[in-house]
Amino acid sequence: MRAAVSVSLLSAVALSAALTIAWTAGSGDRVGHLRSQQLGTRESPASAYLSESQCLATASIRLPCYDPAQIETAYDERPLFDEGVDGRGQTIVVVDSFGSPTIRRDLATFDAQFHLPTPPRLQIIQPAGAVPPYDPGTATMTGWAGETTLDVEWSHAVAPGADILLVETPVSETEGTVGFPQIEAAELYVVRHRLGDVITQSFGANERTFSSPSRLEALRSAFVAAAAAGVTVVASTGDTGVSDYTTATGKDFSTTRTVTWPASDPLVTAVGGTKLSLDASGHRTSPDQVWNDTYDPVANDFVFGTPRPHPDASGGGLSSIFSRPSYQQGVAQVVGDHRGIPDISMSAACSGLVDTYQSFSGPTPPGWYYVCGTSEAAPLFAGIVALADQEAHHGLGLINPALYAMARAHDPGIVPVTKGDNTVSFDERGRQHTVVGYRASAGYNLASGLGTVDAARFVPELVRTVAAVGSAVTYQVLSAPRRS
């Protein structure tokens, strides 16, 4: 998430946090997964766009960097595009603190490089209050600008015909509740005014940083309204595996398993991360696996610039706040009495980056950046949902009951991810800690969820299944947090 929950945001390598910013944007000060959730950001600027072979040959990168055409092929979107299903008539809502002062021209540069059409409309609103003037010397703002760039450019790449509504909020979310009231107010405004069909959130906060379940429950009105209004809400699961930041500084990690909210909310579709292995045309050279670069010497150093090991993996696990929702009844043997995440997974690995372009001023120069994290995965999946909304001729609302029904029916649009895990290790205060996570498997699991998608099959299957099973869900907010 390149940043996520605490609102970890995606950020340039130089920002260290992307989202601990934590981004570290997104996280306390994380950006991107917005604080967010840790957005795992790997960015290495280049004045000119680098092809995948050039990325691999560049000493400061040495990793594959995927472009929109490769991702389009990997997720089998071309058959849909050929039928005119490209998101037209739908609106993807991107929610980020502060936004980016250069997003319009940066998206134009991105589109020109990859021969993508200009979105029918890119609108920017600030319904929760005016955003402070952009300050290039403030790491939180530059981190969120990087997160915004990722979210807008890649949701557009997946659904190039969809409108984009960028919703900027005036306060950066930090662990706990700071910043979330403004996010909730902004999203509630969007839902009540019927401004979008799918909302993507690349941020989050460690559930255990909320003082009580009731504090978190008070921030959920936008999700309740979205479910009632037929608006789908997605969120990234975070970039620190089964750990997460425990403070707003983005420096301390949990030594016990935890998950981030809003991804853990039963009314939200939680999107985890995978590692793709693609050739130059976007065809797979090996099956997807759970994103985990904790011990990868190249990927880990590239993004964080810190000694290995570093928690650099897809988030997943069991909620300490929410009970098992009714749509997870069929996977009760995995989740027990608690909400399990992720639900679905998309590309996020720092050992398989994606290209972005940014020109806002800050600690790094304008240019091409190569990034990663579940803050990538969430907007990718939001784009897929926009394609399904177009095919359905309406918003699909809470899609989780349909996703689990599709998996039970073995619909080919959901592709299992059966390799990898989200165990992470890290050095803290002179000691190395390992937080043992979960392994992927043929069925639902707490590392890859139900799996990933083949869009050409997934989109029509999702539309049919939503019509058949609806979106009803039952669960409860637990009175006391679960302890690992």
pLDDT-flagged residues of the chain (< 70)? 1-46, 177, 248-251, 303-307, 480-484
pTM value is 0.92
With a CB cutoff of 8 Å and minimum separation 6, the contacts of 464 are none
Kindly state whether residue 177 falls inside one of the protein's structural domains. yes
Count of the separate structural domains present in the chain = 1
pLDDT for 296 equals 86
Distances 250 to 34, 36, 241, 328 between C-alpha atoms, Å: 11, 9, 15, 32
Question: Helix and strand tally (H, E) in the chain?
Answer: 13, 21
Measured over the CA atoms of residue 117, residue 120, residue 124 and residue 128, the dihedral's sign is negative
The structure tokens listed for 181 are 């009231």
Determine, yes or no, domain membership for 474: no
Cα separation, 242 vs 318, whole angstroms: 9
User: Residue 363 has what pLDDT?
Assistant: 86
**Residue 193: how many CB atoms within 10 A of its CB?**
10
Is 475 within a domain? no
Spatial separation of the C-alpha atoms in residues 424 and 421, rounded to whole Å: 9
Q: Which amino acid is at 422?
A: N
Tokens of 388: 């399904």
Which structure tokens are listed for 360? 């806002």
Domain of residue 205 covers 2-469
In a domain? residue 370: yes
Name, in order, each residue with C-beta under 8 angstroms of 232's C-beta and a sequence gap of 6 or more.
Answer: 197, 198, 199, 226, 269, 382, 385, 389, 395, 396, 397, 398, 399
Contacts of 140 (CB under 8 A, 6+ apart): 21, 23, 25, 29, 31, 97, 98, 172
Residue matched to tokens 């599709």: 406
Judge whether 478 lies within some domain: no
State the pLDDT at residue 19. Answer: 26
* Distance of alpha carbon 466 from alpha carbon 262, whole angstroms: 22
> Would residue 451 be called left, alpha or beta, if left means φ above 0 and alpha means ψ between -120 and 50 degrees?
left
pLDDT for res 46: 65
Residue 439 lies in a domain: yes
Indicate whether 187 belongs to any domain: yes
Q: What is the pLDDT of residues 61-90, one digit of tens each?
A: 888 999 999 999 999 999 999 999 999 999
Say if 140 falls within a structural domain: yes
Kindly report the CATH number assigned to the domain that includes residue 137.
Answer: 3.40.50.200
What's the pLDDT score for residue 305?
64
